[in-house]
Amino acid sequence: MWRQIGSGLRSAAYLMVLAVAILFGTEWLDRHHQDVVEKQETTVHQVLGKPYIHKGDDVENNVAHPGDLIFVHNDYIKTERCHVQVANLLINRENKYVLHESQFLNWFNAGKFEANEMFKLEDWLPEGTYRLIKRSTSFCGERVYYFVNFDVELKVVAKPKKELARRR
């Protein structure tokens, strides 16, 4: 009888060790897979430097007025030719309202790129602090990658009274 109990305990212990090994092994594989995916994402699309807002003069300036034309300077490298789905979002920091600035499809060859992406702020845009975010999904052959191309802060302030008087 003691032999049967000992044998049963030994079997239970072996099963417990096996279950723990499978659990830790699965967790390690999941973590390793995520690390590999993130490494591939940074090599497929790599942002160089820090994107910034300017008014067409290439001088960093993140303060604008409703109706202004602004640009986001952006340097990056793409290591694969990909079909890209892009969404540009303007998110108000105070109330979290989202303006879907633009959405489009494009494709890029591999290479190094410099861009000054143009945005026309709406005349009715309320004052406040916004995040201007460009998100993209790249379809490269059988693989799909997700990126935040830039996330810059924009302060929208009222137009000076002189400028408002001239427009009337």
Domain annotation covers residue 31: no
Tell me: the pLDDT tens digits for 108-165? Answer: 889 999 999 999 999 999 999 999 999 999 998 888 999 899 999 999 999 887 665 5
Per-residue confidence (pLDDT) for residue 153, from 0 to 100: 98
69 within domain boundaries: yes
* Domain contains 112: yes
Give pTM, 2 decimals: 0.70
| 32 in any annotated domain | no
Has residue 26 been placed in a domain?
A: no
Question: Which contacts qualify for 116-120: CB closer than 8 Å, 24 or more apart?
Answer: 116/54, 116/56, 116/58, 116/71, 116/72, 116/73, 116/74, 117/71, 117/72, 117/74, 117/88, 118/69, 118/70, 118/71, 119/69, 119/70, 119/71, 119/72, 119/88, 120/67, 120/68, 120/69
pLDDT digits (tens, 9 = 90+) for 25-48: 667 666 655 544 444 455 688 899
What's the total number of domains in the chain?
A: 1
Domain harbouring 48, CATH code: 2.60.40.3880
